[in-house]
Amino acid sequence: MMKRRSLLATAGAALAASRIPAAHAATLVGVTDTEIKIGHTIPYSGPASAYGVIGQGHTAFFKRVNDKGGIAGRKINLISLDDGYAPPKTVEQVRRLVEQDQVAFLFNTLGTPNNTAIQKYVNSKKVPHLFLSTGADKWGDPEHFPWTIGWQPSYRTEAQIYAKYIMKNRPGAKVAVLYQNDDFGKDYITGFKDGFGKDYAKYVVKEFSFEVTDATIDSQAVSMQATGADVILTAATPKFAAQMIRKVSDMDWKPLHFLTNVSSSVGAVITPAGPERAVGIITSAYGKDPTDPTWANDAGMNEWRAFMKEYIPTGDLTDGGYVFSYGVCTTLMQMLKQCGTDFSRENVMKQATSLKDLYIPTLLPGITVSTSPTNFHPIRQMQLQKWTGKTWELFGEIIEGTGA
């Protein structure tokens, strides 16, 4: 979903992937005849604690796997630790998982700054760092980080899509951007610059940043309105996204509002902000929204609902975090099945980068998961959607990215 790499870079990536050696006994870490130990970090506390439901979903998913006999006769032992969305804490927890708990691999560790803090370490240790819970563009870099692979679409590409929509539908727009001051937020600035190209300064009147440790973004919202902007982009985690929706409404300001996909959960963002305040907001989607009546009788979503009823009966069925969890866990299970009985770190990484048009029941029709030794961006398609006041309503066509 990003700019095409040069042939030289692609060849370099293939060479880097080929340098991962064949499996040998010394790298069979975290696996016994009865168990596969997996490490995971997520903010169960702190400013991004709304994402904690993803970890709850993972725990329940693997309980179901174990209830059905596990994988290749082995039970999944998921060790899920709270990092509070604080990168230093992530480093501490991941070191514990790798060196003390000796997990076979890391799975779906959440947060762009958090994964940035551990990426060099886990690659130096040659620990598979799989299907990260962040859409930063840089997770698709097999040439330099052959043990790290993303899952969801790139934030950078998402921003490119929004820029193209604005140019086509609001050619004279004045755009203000609110972004989290880390690699997550900055990917949206980069994507806007890609999308608007030489006209970036013509469209974007001002960029406003905030720190994840800030209490509110109210002052930024007031300053954004003062620019005269009639289009805004909010690149923020759920707490701040909900604040922005409320503040824009309180000011009786009515810009065309674009919202990052990772803060589009109805349960975690729209409901706390007030559904009526969010009417007209545009975001992108790759997964099915649990509040959309389109999927009321969908086989894939019925599968997810049955899982929720049995394993998370008190879970909020409007929270897209649970849907995300189900999708990424399903991807991991396919990878583990492809491993056969060889769960060495080398083979785990080989299979993670050998997924072909994998159907995931919670993804939008036409969107599949595919990877290769030179493509570490498993999902490269999205579709735009608008909040109606009751649900997200899809519009337009599935948009295909350009790949890694």
Report the amino acid identity of residue 312.
I
pLDDT at 230: 98
Architecture per CATH, domain 155-285, reads as 3-Layer(aba) Sandwich (3.40)
Rounded to two decimals, what is the model's pTM? 0.87
Domain borders along the chain are 7-153+300-379, 155-285
For residue 313, the model assigns a pLDDT of 98
- Scanning the structure block, which residue is given the tokens 């040069």? 6
- Cα-based distances in Å from 291 to 61, 75, 267: 21, 33, 9
Could you write out the DSSP letters of every residue in 233-271?
Answer: EEE--HHHHHHHHHHHHHTT---EEEE-GGG--IIIIIH
User: Which two three-digit tokens encode residue 293?
Assistant: 């009546």
Inter-residue contact 90 to 114 (CB < 8 Å) = yes
SS3 375: strand
> What distance lies between CA 4 and its chain's CA centroid?
21
Distance in angstroms (rounded) separating the CA atoms of residues 65 and 51 = 22
176: Cβ–Cβ under 8 A, 6 or more apart, which residues?
A: 204, 205, 206, 207, 208, 224, 227, 229, 231, 232, 233, 255
Domains 7-153+300-379 and 155-285 share a fold: yes
Class of domain 7-153+300-379: alpha beta
How is residue 139 annotated by DSSP?
G
> Which residues, at least 6 apart from 291, have a Cβ–Cβ distance to it below 8 Å?
266, 318, 390, 391, 392
Encoding tokens for residue 339? 């491993």
In one-letter notation, the amino acid at residue 283 is T
Bridge partners (DSSP) of residue 37 are 77
Cβ-contact 288, 323 below 8 angstroms: yes
Q: Are 50 and 265 in contact (CB under 8 A)?
A: yes
Q: What is the pLDDT of residue 401?
A: 54
Give burial (CB, 10 Å; 0-12/13-18/19+) of 254: exposed
Encode the chain (404 residues) as per-residue pLDDT tens digits: 333 333 334 444 444 444 444 444 447 999 999 999 999 999 999 999 999 999 999 999 999 999 999 999 999 999 999 999 999 999 999 999 999 999 999 999 999 999 999 999 999 999 999 999 999 999 999 999 999 999 999 999 999 999 999 999 999 999 999 999 999 999 999 999 999 999 999 999 999 999 999 999 999 999 999 999 999 999 999 999 999 999 999 999 999 999 999 999 999 999 999 999 999 999 999 999 999 999 999 999 999 999 999 999 999 999 999 999 999 999 999 999 999 999 999 999 999 999 999 999 999 999 999 999 999 999 999 999 999 999 999 999 998 754 43
According to DSSP H, which parts of 141-204 are helical?
Answer: 155-169, 183-196, 200-203
Q: How far apart are CA 205 and CA 207, in angstroms?
A: 7
At residue 283, the pLDDT reads 98
